[in-house]
Structure formats: C-alpha cells, structure tokens
Amino acid sequence: MMGPVRGYKKRKKQDKKHDENGSSASGSPQNKEGPLDWWHDFSKRINGLQQSPSKSLDSFQAVFKISRNTFEYICSLVKEDMKTKSAHFIFTSGKPMSLYDQVAVALRRLGSGDSLVTIGDSFGLNHSTVSQVTWRFVESMEERGLHHLQWPTESEMVAIKSKFEQVRGLPNCCGVIDATHITMCLPASEPSSNVWLDHEKNHSMVLQAIVDADMRFRDIVTGWPGKMKDWLVFESSNFCKLCDKGDRLNGKTLLVSEGCEIREYIIGDLGYPLLPYLLVPYEGKELAEPKANFNRQHFATRMLGQRALMRLKEMWKIIQGSMWRPDKHRLPRIILVCCLLHNIVIDMEDEVQDELSLAHNHDSGYHQLICGASDAKGASLREKLSLYLTRILPP
C-alpha cells in the first residue's frame, strides 16, 4: 500500500460504532458512548498515579499524549489481532481486558518508558501481562500500520518538494536524512555486549531516518550496532542501493536557469558522503557568501530531521532512555512501531503533538563524526544550488 489515506479516519469513525471493543468497561457492547464510558472507568484506576498536575489527572491526552480520535483509529487497526489473541488477558481483579484496555496499556508502556512493574502497578496488572499485551500490540502494528510508513508516490512527492522549497528555498528537495542512537542497558557479562558498545562508551542501536517536510518518516533503517558510523549505515541501506541503481530519487529534474537543471536529492549533515543525490554542507568557517548562504539554508531545512527524531523520542520514551536489557531481535521491531505511531499522529492531524516540549538534541552526548567523502557530481549539484540560492546563476 502507498502512504496514508487522509480520509481514512472518517471512515473508521463510522466503523467504530459497531466495535464491541473486546467487551466494554461495563461488560456489554456500547455504541457512541462506549469510549467515553471506558475512559471514565479506566481513568479511575490510574488516578493519583501520574506525575501530571491534578488539573490534568483525568485528561486522556495527558496520559497518552494523543487525541481520542487517534487512539480509536489505532484500536481499529489492531482490533482483529488483539481480540483473537487476548482471551486470557485479565486484570489482577479477574476482570477481562477489553480492546481499549489492551491498547491503552501498550501505548502507556511505549509512551512513558515506565517499567513493566510500574505500568502493572498503575493499572492493576501483573507485569507479565503488561509485557504480553505490549508485544501483541507491537506484532499487530508492524503489520497493520505499515502503510503509514512508505516512500511517497509521485503525486505526494510533488507536494513534499513544494513544502521543502517553502521552508528555506531548496528546490527539488525530497527529504532530510539523520540518525540517532537508541541506548541500551546491557550487563558487561553478556557475551555480545562489546558488539553494541559505541564510540561514546554506551551500548546502543542506530536508527537512520529519512523524513519529509511534515516530519513524517518515509524510510527507516535500524538494528545496526551504535558504533557503526552514519555513512556505513547509509551505504548498507536498501535506499542507497536503489539510488545508485537509479530507482530512487529519479523523478523530474527542475530547470532553474538556462542549461542548469537540478535533479531530485535529499540532504544530510557531514556524517554522510556528498553524493549526486545526497547533499551535505560545505566544510570550513571562512566560506564565500554563496557557500555560507547554502549552509544556512541547508541547516534550517535539515532541522526538520532533527525535530522529527526529537519528537519521536519525546513521545515514545521507551526508546529515549537506557532502561533496556533488550532482546536485540525485538528492539528494532519496537523502534519501527514507534515510528509508525509517530506517523499516525501526523496523518491524523493530531494537535496534541504541537504541545510537546522538545529537547534541544535527539542524540545528547554524541559528537559528530565527519565522513568527508565527496563525489564530483554531488559537488557540481551543490555548487549549482549555492549559486541559485544567491541568485547569481548565469542567465
């Protein structure tokens, strides 16, 4: 399937009227009032256990950081999987968990980063149940929600390039690439611990992401150890291979001046090579004005990638901290689902995300490693762009 369908949420809203939610909070099917009744009952169980001020203790958005519409849409995605696999999920009181209960617990686990025990104590569940419910949700989402993370269609790309140009004037730009470290807590005695030890002496896993002008993830790579340099992660990616073969970033060129065409490209920082389709800043401090101006425009546009990763880690705190003693096969799948949820919030036009306070750095404590590799065609394209941005191209 190609990218998200904007009208999907309205259609799903009608479907939810017929959704029993895996038995409602009162034990019987509900219509429109089901979600409200469920939240009224559910919020009583967690009341007094949150860190939010009292005025927002009963706020759905304060607990889950998403709107109710987004929550119900996510429920609609995983409904069939969660209902068929959840026969034995119960609260410590003996009450069966409804669909809403399960999704709420999984989202709280992913969003808060709290331990299994803390989540279990908050919601009246055994920590093993929290683990099983969360994993069922992850398994379902990575299949049912995958259409929310796709490379743009041709028509979508036209809109994306237009938005990028509106940011700081970069024409024909298709995306921003960046990478971040997902830190892990591994005991030194673990045989593979050195494999995951990065250049800052943390155990970590890399997440590489290409984002569009709305900070939506369009391509991700994860699973590599954190010590792997950004350019090596990129060069090993399928995206890079497709670009090298001419099967990606191969859309229409843009004529910006007589005899001067700009091809499609993405931008990244100095951790990446300068390629025909990947433009990085000029190095050095005493730069001529066209180059200095290019770097300023480049940096301002590149901030979209940084903000996307900051928002990802701020909303889905399970990947922000270093509380993990993870199964390295499961962690990439959890990272993927957090990226899917990030995109769903954007696709649902959820305004709650705008209220998040973002950190200044998505990769705090990590220093930039410079690649330095340069391709002649990439250098030529960057030169054309720098002259175009200062409007001194020959007529």
CB 163 within 8 A of CB 152: no
Of the segments 75-84, 108-117, 213-222, 248-257, which one has the largest average pLDDT value?
213-222
CB 178 within 8 A of CB 268: yes
CA 373 from chain centre, in angstroms, equals 28
CB crowding 307-334: b at 16 or more within 10 Å, else e = bbbbbbbbbbbbbbeeebebeeeebbbb
Percent of the chain with pLDDT over 90: 62
CB 142 within 8 A of CB 337: yes
CB 242 within 8 A of CB 248: yes
- Supply the pLDDT for residue 355: 65
- Supply the pLDDT for residue 59: 73
CB 171 within 8 A of CB 199: no
| Domain boundaries along the sequence of the chain | 58-145, 148-388
CA 34 from chain centre, in angstroms, equals 30
For the stretch 152-175, pLDDT in tens is: 999 999 999 999 999 999 999 999
Distance CA 125, CA 123 (A): 6
With CA atoms as reference, report the closest residue to 310 among 192, 185, 209.
209
35-49, 59-73, 205-219, 255-269: least confidently modelled range: 35-49
Which residue's entry shows tokens 């009224």? 40
Return the structure tokens found at 342. 């990030």
Report residue 285's pLDDT band, with 50, 70 and 90 as the boundaries: confident
- Supply the pLDDT for residue 366: 86
For the stretch 294-345, pLDDT in tens is: 999 999 999 999 999 999 999 999 988 655 565 677 889 999 999 999 999 9
- Residues pairing with 217 in the sheet: 211
* Strand pairing report for 217-225 and 278-279: unpaired
- CA distances (Å), origin 375, targets 174, 275, 278, 279, 378: 19, 5, 10, 10, 5
Query: What CA dihedral angle connects 131, 35, 353 and 163, to 10 degrees?
Result: 110
- Supply the pLDDT for residue 358: 65
